[in-house]
Every structure is written in structure tokens, then in C-alpha cells.
Structure 1
């Protein structure tokens, strides 16, 4: 088994970087959807939601950078084209969303998909003995589960 300079199996690291690229593509789509709902939201809850959506897209932008840097750390090359993002995304695309409930539903549905991807990565990073990726996924999952709970509470729905 060949190891890279951070002590991980090279083959497993490259496989993980590929899985992280899929997560990166999905986060980029999520980020774009958040920007869209931030810009286009209307109604009586505009002021509260406009601020909340900005908070969420700032967080997503930070996570995009963290994912890309982890891919590089593992020896991969992060996706950086819209074509790559489109070809690898599973999160819903939010287009022309102006209503509050529709926007919140988009966030919940997107985070649900991201959580599925992150849990898959958690299994893969555990198998590769990659504590760095494992820790990042654990942190993402903890934050996003709480956001889903809050959004579902806002929608008056059970988790």
C-alpha cells in the first residue's frame, strides 16, 4: 500500500476526493439556490428571511472552500466549472422562488440530500482512516441537522 504525505492510503484518498467533489458540486448548487431565494424573496417575512438566507449562503460558501481544500489535501483536484457542478448535483435547483414556504422547503430538501452525501462520505472516510474528512463531515452533519430541525419547526412540520 502506498501512502501519501499525510499518511493515508493513496488510492483511498483519491476515491475520497472524488466523493468530496460530488459534495462540492452539490454545495455549489445549494449556494446558488440560496443566493436566488435571498435576492427574490417577497412578502411579509422578507426582512427576516432575507437576512437568514444571507447567513446560510455565507455558511455554504465557507463550506465550499473547506471541501475544495480537503480535496486538494487528499491529492485531488476540486471541480470548478458549472458543467462539473451540473453533472454531479442531486440537490434541487431553486429557480424563481419568491414565496417563503417554497424557499424554506427548498432549503430542507437540499440539506436532506447534502446530509445523505455527507453520511456516505463519513462511511468512506472511516474506511480510509481519514480523520480529517471524518471530522469535517461530522461537523457539517451536526450543523445541518439543527438547521433542518429549525426549518421544519418554521414550516410547523415534524422532523
Structure 2
């Protein structure tokens, strides 16, 4: 096996580029996770019981995805970011502080998911281009799931 190829048979150069994009996705997920966790804790009003549970489902799912993304970066032969300062610096999602209004929280969830999907589509495009089926399968599954979640949260707002 050539030294320009990773342990899983992918070109090192493109694997590095994928790992960098995955680290950006990881950063976005970490900030999104913490935002949703805060919405779960702070939600107030007559929609409390509904949204408290939905936000918990969302952050629990995000936590699983965070771990899978980090493990994929390791599988590609690189190191996942693991410092919150890096997450804040690299994330396209901004931290939300002390939000408790139902519609504002849901709008932030939608905005965060839309940003995550944009990053995932970039990762998916590159992984398909370079023949990284493992990354592509992981990410396209996320996209399909999140498109449905976006539809549901939009339905809630209407």
C-alpha cells in the first residue's frame, strides 16, 4: 500500500480535507447541542411539556452524531477537535444564551439544523467525489433524518 493512502484505502490528501470539513461539522454540532440543551432547560410557557421533551430528543440525537463524527475523523486517520474554544471559533452556529420563548427556541433549532445540513452537503459532495462511502453513508443518513425534523419544526411554527 502506498504511503499516500490511508489505512482504509483512501488518498491521504482528500482524507485530510474530509477530516477538516468533518471537524467544522463537529464544531457546529457541539454548539448546536449546547444551544438545544439550554432550550431544554430554560423553555417556559404553555408549550413547556411538549418542547422540553422534543429538545431532549434533539440533543440526545445530536450527542450520538457528535460521537459518530469524531469516530469517523479518527477512522480517516486524523484527530477530532475537542476543545470548546475551537468549537466556538470554528462553528458557523453561534451560541444562544438564556432563550426561553417557545417560537424563538424553535426558530433557533431550525436555523441550526439548516446550517448543519449545509455543512453536511459539502461533506457528502466531497466524500462521494473521492469514493469515501463510509463518510457519505453516515452523512446522507443524517441529512435525510434532519430534513424530516426541519419539516416537523416548521409545521409546529405554523
Shorter chain as denominator, the TM-score bin is over 0.9
Distance in structure 2 (CA, Å) of the matches to 1:38 and 1:86: 20
Task: State the match for 1:8 in structure 2.
Answer: 10
Q: How does 1:8-157 map to 2 (within 5 A)?
A: 8-156=10-158
Count of residue pairs brought into register by the alignment: 156
1:21, CA displacement in angstroms?
Answer: 0.2
Greater mean deviation of Cα atoms: 114-123 or 84-93: 84-93
Greater mean deviation of Cα atoms: 31-40 or 4-13: 4-13
Equivalent pair of 1:92/1:109 in contact (CA under 8 Å): no
**Structure 1 segments unaligned to the other structure (5+ residues):** none
Equivalent pair of 1:92/1:106 in contact (CA under 8 Å): no
1:134, CA displacement in angstroms?
Answer: 0.4
Greater mean deviation of Cα atoms: 20-29 or 93-102: 93-102
Equivalent pair of 1:125/1:133 in contact (CA under 8 Å): yes
**Structure 2 segments unaligned to the other structure (5+ residues):** none
Distance in structure 2 (CA, Å) of the matches to 1:8 and 1:95: 41
1:92, CA displacement in angstroms?
Answer: 3.3
Runs of 4+ more than 2 Å apart: none
1:3, CA displacement in angstroms?
Answer: 1.3
Distance in structure 2 (CA, Å) of the matches to 1:93 and 1:149: 23
SS in 2 for 1:3: coil
Equivalent pair of 1:30/1:91 in contact (CA under 8 Å): yes
Structural RMSD (CA): 0.9
Equivalent pair of 2:36/2:58 in contact (CA under 8 Å): yes
Equivalent pair of 2:88/2:94 in contact (CA under 8 Å): no
TM-score for both structures, normalised by structure 2: 0.96
